[in-house]
Structure formats: structure tokens, C-alpha cells
Amino acid sequence: MSSYDYDLFVIGGGSGGVRAARVAASLGKRVAIAEEYRYGGTCVIRGCVPKKLFVYASQFHEHFEDAEGFGWTVGESSFDWKKLVAAKDAEIARLEGLYKKGLAGANAEILESRAELVDAHTVRLAKTGQTVTAKTVVIATGGRPNPHAALPGHEFCISSNEAFHLEELPKSIVIAGGGYIAVEFANIFHGLGVETTLIYRGAEILSRFDEDLRRGLHEAMVAKGIRILCHDTLQKVSEGEDGLILETMNNGTLRAGVVLLALGRDPNTEGLGLEAAGVAVDERGAIIVDDYSRTNVENIYALGDVTNRVQLTPVAIHEAMCFIETEYKNNPTRPDYELIPTAVFSQPEIGTVGLSEEEAGKRYGELEVYRAQFRPLKATLSGRAERMIMKLIVDAASSRVVGAHILGHDAGEMAQLLGITLKAGCTKDDFDRTMALHPTAAEELVTMYAPSYRIRDGKRV
Ligand code: NDP
């Protein structure tokens, strides 16, 4: 019997922390987990899950419009923001309960308190001042929105955290940033009837995605009525008589009811006692870990967004499972970051896995690019001016598909399945000999027989 109070102490009750605690406890380890806010973490409480519910809510007005083309007459419709927020909150509370139930069912001790390290094996619970000891510590405290403190007037702006609990839906919103959060919320607010402007410093939104899809999404968003200002940044935000006044670098003065900053997220490491425990962080405050998520302190691991590796829920969960293998199953396992499928829940959606055309062009001597752009069947009767884009990037030498990119309905669902095929190393021939499933949009993926163009030494030929 060890002299520590626990075999494992987990700080942070988000996706990564809960998984590590639950599985370790189910293996018979004595586990405690501490969370200062709500169990479920960013993903469940104020991230992926409530965001997706808001995405659904924001799509209905287009569904109502589309219905007419199919013979329906939809009566007058109206939207109640408070009702949506309350329904979302009820669902989130249910999910939070399930997280706790899973932990309790595995016999992990659930602590509702902030926890800070006193030394490598000792944790202090802020609520009671009590200290406890553990053989192994996992830090999974996640991240928080970058407040952009250098922006004069940033205190008048909100982050995605507050966007989930606005008292009223504003008439207008300006969203700063061009990443996942900015783009998703621009589509949500626009869909709910808010006059929406996106302001982004670069040449094109979603800098890490395939250029073709970025352009396609930008055009689709503008066509819906979202204003997108690229090559521009906010210089100052101040309070006016009826809303906020924004000075921009290149587009003069803007006005908005709400300004949402979506300029990346910072790791939650402040005041955690990392110095006292001797845990090293990088220049952004992220905990530095080795290939097995172990920090420079032998018995302390860190998982998920707090390490700033890949800020995605399934990645944090995967890192937690690798930690379990490494620490408790005598099977050192490194998280695998190759070919992570990802989606942007914009409208239309982006779903992608593998290399963009630009990235693949740098890595492979010759590429075949298969590209289809078409009007989905549903858009024929609805009359919606909407195009889907599908792209496969193929290494010409091996015929392996190294990237797959989709813009359009259910792109995220398709990207999940394409993730399996790319992970399995499927070649273009495998796609070609797969029977099409008709009539679907996805059948395009297996019916693009001739390359649309080639990329040789990074250049289109
Ligand atoms: P992202 O990293 O996606 O985007 C940050 C954006 O802010 C980029 O457009 C970036 O520009 C811009 N930016 C950063 N600093 C500045 C600055 N000083 N001035 C002006 N612009 C700036 O972060 P998000 O906040 O959107 O999301 C955080 C993370 O959460 C994402 O990385 C993602 O991993 C995860 N997430 C995933 C979702 C999903 O899976 N669907 C949904 C939401 C979040 P530039 O591109 O030029 O650097």
C-alpha cells in the first residue's frame, strides 16, 4: 500500500481529465479529480456541444425557406433566444451529470474545488485549504479565450464563453478572428438574424485549411449576407450611446451591439503551483511534455489544451487513453497525431482530413488533384444557390490519398469516415473500385476518375 492518499490526482474535469480519472479508477486505482467550475470542461459546458446546438438552431430559417420549393407553405416563424439558451443549458446540465455519474460509477472521488500543486506529490484544495498527496498527478486544466489585452477597450468585448449566455440577441455583432470559433459563430449569429461582420487580419479566413475551401466558404458566407473584412484588425473599442464603436485599421469606424473576440486560446496554467512543483512551461504558458505526455517532473503528466499540442476534444481523450496505457498497463504509448479529421461547423460546413493541396505540394514531388464542384440535389428544388466542393489530393507516385476536403452539407460526417480510409492508407484505386451509393453527395468521392489537374514540384501544371 502506497503512503500517498491517492494513486492518481487529476486537476481539471474536462474531456481529458475525466477520461484519465474514470479509466484509472475503473482499473482499481485510488483516484481523485478536482474541477473548479463545471464537470465536462470547455467542450461540454461552453464549447463544442452547446456550439453545435446553436448551429442547429441557426439553420432553421434556411430550412423554412427551402421548404417552399418542396411544396410546403410554412406559416409565420419567430425565434426566441432565451428559449434556446434555456434548452441548451438543460441539455448541458444533463451531460454534466453523466460525466459525474461515470466518475462516481468507477469510484473516483469527485472534488468540486480548484486544486493547486504545492510540490510534485502534494495538491492543495482551494475550497477547504486541505492538502492531499498522490503518487501520480495529471494536469488537464484546458485553456481559455485569449483576452487580447493589448486592444484598447477589450474589456467591452466578449469571448465565446459569454456568447453562450447573452441576455439578449444583439441586432449586430462584429467578430474578430478568422479561425474555427470566429467562423462558426459568424454563421450562428447570422443564421439567428443578427447583422454579422467578421474582421480578420490575414488574406483569407481559416488559415490552416485548404485554400480552395477557404475561398469557397468565404464566398458562400458573403452570399448569405455576412460581411467579411480581411486584411484588417480592430484598433480600439469604446462604448457609444447605442452600442459599441470600433476603430479598425482599414475599414474606418464600425458600430455593433456586441464585439466577440475569437483570437485563439491560452493554456490555463496561471496560479497552478507549477513552479512549486518544478513543472516547466513554454513561452505561451503551455506545459511542456514529452512524447508520452509526461512533464519534466517524473510523476506529473499533462493532457489536452493545457499542453497546446492540438486543441481538440478527441485528441485530449486520446492522450488520456495513451497515459493510461503508459502509466497503468506497462505499455508505453505515444499519442498519434497523424491524419486527425476535423470539421468547421460553418454553413456550409467544412470537413477535412490529411494534407491541404498547399501542404501536400511541399511534401510530394507530384500530386493528382481530383476536384468536383456541384449543386447538391436538395438545392435544385429549394432553389438555393449553393455549391459543394470535394477534393482528393493524391500522391502520384504511390497513388495514396493524402488529403480529402469537403465543403457542404454533412462535410464533418463524411470527414470522419474518410479519416478511416486515409488512416488505412487507401489509394485512389481503392476509391475507384468502391461502388457509388446513389443518390448521395458523397458518391462524388468515388466517381472522380480523371485528375482535374496535377501539381508538380509545388506548381500547378
Ligand atoms: P484559431 O487558432 O482557430 O484561430 C485564431 C484566429 O485568431 C486566427 O484567425 C488568427 O489569425 C487570429 N489571431 C490570433 N492572434 C491574433 C491577433 N493578435 N490579432 C488578430 N488576429 C489574431 O483559434 P480559435 O480561437 O478560433 O479556436 C481555438 C481552438 O479551439 C482551435 O484551434 C481549435 O483547435 C479549437 N476549436 C475547434 C472547433 C472544431 O473542431 N470545430 C471549434 C472551435 C474551436 P491567423 O490565422 O492569421 O494566425
Residue 228: in which H helix or E strand, if any?
Answer: strand 227-229
CA of 148 to the centre of ligand 1 (A): 12
Nearest-atom number in ligand 1 for the CA of 312 is: 34
CA of 140 to the centre of ligand 1 (A): 20
> Which residues in the chain show pLDDT less than 70?
1
CA dihedral sign of residues 22, 28, 34, 38: positive
Contact indicator for 17, 100 with CB cutoff of 8 Å: no
Interatomic CA distance for residues 154 and 146, integer angstroms = 11
Nearest to 257 by CA among 192, 180, 348: 192
Which residue's CA is the closest to the ligand 1 atom numbered 38? Answer: 180
Catalogue all structural domains in the chain, each as residue range(s) with its CATH number. Answer: 6-144+266-328 (3.50.50.60), 154-262 (3.50.50.60), 342-455 (3.30.390.30)
* Residue of 218, 318, 405, 438 with catalytic role: 438
Residues 6+ apart with CB under 8 A from 293: 301, 302, 303, 307, 319, 322, 323, 326, 335
Residue length of the chain: 461
CA of 435 to the centre of ligand 1 (A): 38
From the centroid of its chain, how far is CA 21?
23
Which residue's CA is the closest to the ligand 1 atom numbered 42? Answer: 180
Q: Which residues pair with 372 in a beta bridge?
A: 390
For a substitution probing ligand 1, which of 199, 249, 263, 345 has the most ligand atoms within 8 Å of its CB? Answer: 263
- Helices first, then strands: H and E counts in the chain: 13, 23
Residue 17: in which H helix or E strand, if any?
Answer: helix 15-26
| Whether 438 is catalytic | yes
CA of 203 to the centre of ligand 1 (A): 15
CA of 322 to the centre of ligand 1 (A): 26
Which residue's CA is the closest to the ligand 1 atom numbered 13? Answer: 263
Nearest-atom number in ligand 1 for the CA of 310 is: 34
**Cell digits for 112?**
468540486
Which residue's CA is the closest to the ligand 1 atom numbered 30? Answer: 311
Give the residues surrounding ligand 1 with Cβ less than 6 Å away: 177-182, 184, 200-202, 207, 233, 262-265, 311-312, 342-345
Map grid coordinates 504509448 to a residue. 333
Tell me what pLDDT residue 300 has.
Answer: 98
Outline where 68-210 has alpha helix (H).
81-105, 160-163, 180-191
Which residue's CA is the closest to the ligand 1 atom numbered 48? Answer: 207
Burial of residue 433 (CB within 10 Å: 0-12, 13-18, 19+) is: exposed
For a substitution probing ligand 1, which of 181, 187, 250 has the most ligand atoms within 8 Å of its CB? Answer: 181
Nearest-atom number in ligand 1 for the CA of 148 is: 18
Interatomic CA distance for residues 198 and 379, integer angstroms = 26
CA of 145 to the centre of ligand 1 (A): 10
Tell me what pLDDT residue 2 has.
Answer: 77
Interatomic CA distance for residues 367 and 360, integer angstroms = 8
Outline where 106-260 has alpha helix (H).
160-163, 180-191, 211-224
- Omega before 348 within 30 of 0, i.e. cis: yes
Q: Give the tens place of pLDDT for each residue, 252-300.
A: 999 999 999 999 999 999 999 999 999 999 999 999 999 999 999 999 9
Which residue's CA is the closest to the ligand 1 atom numbered 41? Answer: 344
For a substitution probing ligand 1, which of 144, 146, 180, 211 has the most ligand atoms within 8 Å of its CB? Answer: 180
Residue 292 main-chain phi, psi, to 5 deg: -110, 15
Read off the pTM: 0.97
Nearest-atom number in ligand 1 for the CA of 180 is: 26
Which residue's CA is the closest to the ligand 1 atom numbered 15? Answer: 263
Map grid coordinates 488574406 to a residue. 203
CA of 264 to the centre of ligand 1 (A): 4
Map grid coordinates 486505482 to a residue. 29
CA of 308 to the centre of ligand 1 (A): 12
